[in-house]
Structure 1
Amino acid sequence: MTDLKVNKPEPFLPLKDVTIYNRGEDIKSIIKVLEAGNPVLITEFYNNGSVLLKGLQEHLNKKLPNKSFKEQRAYRAEYHKLSNLILLEIENHQILVKKAPAIGWFEKLYPETSDFLLTLPQVQGLNSAWQWYTNGITIPVLRNKIHPYYGTYFPTRFEHLELFDNWLKRYSGPKKSAIDVGVGSGILALQMIKHGFQKVFATDTNPNAIIGLTEMMGDTKLSRKIELDFGSLFGKWKNKTELIVFNPPWLAETRDLNNLDEAIYYNDTLFSDFFEAAKEMLLPDGKLVLIFSNLAQISGVAKSNPIEQEIAEGGRFQLEKCFKKNVKKDLKKQSVTHSIVKVKK
């Protein structure tokens, strides 16, 4: 796995033509610079960046509607575009303003480059990721904290993990092997090992997930129980298994994706490709477990649930059981429901 190239923000060299922002500057005039597509460099104090971002949010709140799900996405797109023109300078792997956080990712991810620029949102993302990585995150269904690597998806709600854990407690089938498609930060794989599976074969299209889990497991017993492959769907794994687990993205894609987005948004062919491949990889009495949410349907961004559509029309699998748990109310006051869907051939 050492030959994988980590996904990270692309550093760039200091610019000659850049507008300086410090606390004394007029925020409205700085926002006009951003809207014209020109970069702005934060100076003096790290918190100046937060002040400018707050001003930008207030400006966009007045300018753009932000109520429906689609309006929120439009708002976020504009905020993303403008905020990523706000820059910070890094020198000797340290942010070159006062009272800035120490972020270990600079040295870890950029060993060959000590002086460069990154956008403020990128730096904020690296800072948050460093805190999660160093301090760890408590997951209710696991004994130990996870330490997610930079750029690796991890859940912020746990209802679907609790549903899966409850299903694993009741599972009475063989536990020789399982496959975790899209391993992410490794939670489902770790749950299966906790519940007695001898071997979990896992894949992910995000190299950071593979690099991070490889580092986390090191040369422990866990590294011999969970085998990783950088690849889509079933990757290099060819042996049929008694259990396939897939926690797919819950929203249909509407734009070009980066690797972290691929954990959240699915493309047109993901589910058809998955079910076709899963049919070949599952043993005759094996189980296929999918974890999904109706968020897309009740938010109005999708008319159908791709898993329900496959069961109704695909002819490859039949529904054995569906476990559901209501989570919260969305914008339309409907319950978001997380589901564990168990199907068999």
Structure 2
Amino acid sequence: MTTQQPARWTEDGREHSAHWRSESGARLPARLAPADDRLSADRAFKLVCEGTGLVWRGDFHQARQLLQALARRVERKPPKPGAEPRETFHRARQWQSRRAGLLGMLLVPLETGPEGYAVPLRRAPAVHEACAQAYGPAPAGAERSLVALRELDAVLSAHQWQLRGVAVPALGGERIHPRYGVFSPVRGEYVDLVARAADEQLPSRELAFDIGTGTGVLSAVLARRGVARVVATETDERALDCARENVSRLRVDDAVEVVSADLFPPGGTRAPLVVCNPPWVPAKPSAPVERAVYDHGSRMLHGFLDGLAERLAPGGEGWLVLSDLAEHLGLRTREELLDRIASSGLRVLGRLDARPRHPKAADAGDPLHAARDAEVTSLWRLGVQG
């Protein structure tokens, strides 16, 4: 999603305008003012706290240093723990939202022309390829936009991830190449669980559905384990393109078909295996890029469970890959999950567990450290009752 609206400010006694661009859906700051290398970090922090967006006109590297200085000032007051994990979680999210809002007030110009996207600042990096991947092809005519430096840095970083890729042990060390806005398989335990289950308990090698495929990594793992046909579904356009690119890179596109569908593939076909790795935390995303982490109202989880029995072939299995982080945060109980499985006409056939290996699990300074330290990711093997 790209939000664009007119942005206007006064500079050197003249009126200036540009499009406001935000992939996160952030609002245009109420006030805009030009800023350059002469602006102190303390003054900049005061201005952004007052709601003034800073249109940067100085050196690009200086802008990045100012962004780091603003981050340090925000982080002087970390979120306080609540009386219970649920309250701590909501306080941490509010703090993260405030942090993102303040840091998103430092803006840089983004222009398009014959050479594509460019940032017209001293020592600015080449941004055309990264922006074209994130925003789409540059408009044919000249256009000036404003974008938060924080977002532009995320676009540039994501492009590097896409170029380098992420090594996946379950694929023999071959790489998955995520795109901007598509969840990267850096948390490898969920991929390893599917690989382990496929090695030990694959119910059929005929057909599998991969619900909400993202980068396509689980479809590739199943295809490499000998599943003859995998239908991978996704609704996000970036993820659809990303998954198709990855299955082609990995040379499994003869086995994997990536289709645009909300949850299950159209047509009513039943499969011996249906795999789903939904977002793990039942909370409302504050930006589109958070939809891979937060499942508002457990929509995807409940939709998968409620529809699974009708889409499983006789004797088939549904593999639900889910962290119990929400349970440790007080956002969902184990009893609620088991009740939903049962009310959907399903039964638990077995479960495989894995402990997380990501850096946050060992970060004692994280306000959610206690919950992350206790977290377990599970692959629930589900079958139809009766």
TM-score by shorter chain over 0.5: yes
Deviates more, 1:268-277 or 1:117-126: 268-277
CA distance in 2, matches of 1:317, 1:310: 9
Counterpart position of 2:108: 88
Task: State how 1:182-261 maps to structure 2 within 5 Å.
Answer: 182-217=212-247, 222-255=252-285, 258=288, 260-261=289-290
Deviation at 1:203, TM superposition (A): 0.9
| CA deviation map 1:91-118 (0-9, x unaligned) | 3412222333323132442321654221
Change beyond 3 A, Cα 1:90–1:205: same
Please say if residues 66 and 75 of structure 1, whose CA atoms lie closer than 8 Å, have aligned partners that are also in contact.
no
Task: For 2:125, give the aligned amino acid.
Answer: P
Please say if residues 69 and 331 of structure 1, whose CA atoms lie closer than 8 Å, have aligned partners that are also in contact.
no
Counterpart position of 1:110: 137
| CA deviation map 1:167-198 (0-9, x unaligned) | 11113432111000000001100000000011
Deviation at 1:36, TM superposition (A): 2.4
Matched residue SS, 1:162: helix
CA distance in 2, matches of 1:255, 1:197: 34
Counterpart position of 1:176: 206
1:166 is aligned, of 196, 202, 214, to 196
Matched residue SS, 1:141: helix
Pairs aligned (count): 336
**Cα RMSD (Å) of the superposition?**
2.5
Where does the alignment leave 5 or more consecutive residues of structure 2 unmatched?
A: 11-31, 82-87, 363-367
Deviation at 1:309, TM superposition (A): 3.1
Matched residue SS, 2:376: strand
Counterpart position of 2:97: 77
Change beyond 3 A, Cα 1:212–1:52: same
Change beyond 3 A, Cα 1:305–1:24: farther
Deviation at 1:162, TM superposition (A): 1.4
Q: Percent identity?
A: 21
Deviation at 1:299, TM superposition (A): 2.6
CA distance in 1, matches of 2:78, 2:329: 19
Change beyond 3 A, Cα 1:251–1:24: same
CA distance in 1, matches of 2:218, 2:147: 33
Task: State how 1:330-345 maps to structure 2 within 5 Å.
Answer: 331-332=369-370, 334-345=373-384
CA distance in 2, matches of 1:16, 1:320: 62
Matched residue SS, 2:332: coil
Q: TM-score, normalised by structure 2?
A: 0.79
| CA deviation map 1:198-228 (0-9, x unaligned) | 1111111211110222344459963332112
Change beyond 3 A, Cα 1:255–1:215: closer
| CA deviation map 1:224-254 (0-9, x unaligned) | 3211222211142421100000001110123
Change beyond 3 A, Cα 1:12–1:222: farther
CA distance in 2, matches of 1:116, 1:341: 47
Where does the alignment leave 5 or more consecutive residues of structure 1 unmatched?
A: 1-6
CA distance in 1, matches of 2:202, 2:166: 30
Counterpart position of 1:41: 55
Counterpart position of 1:3: none
Q: TM-score, normalised by structure 1?
A: 0.88
CA distance in 2, matches of 1:134, 1:227: 23
Deviation at 1:12, TM superposition (A): 5.8
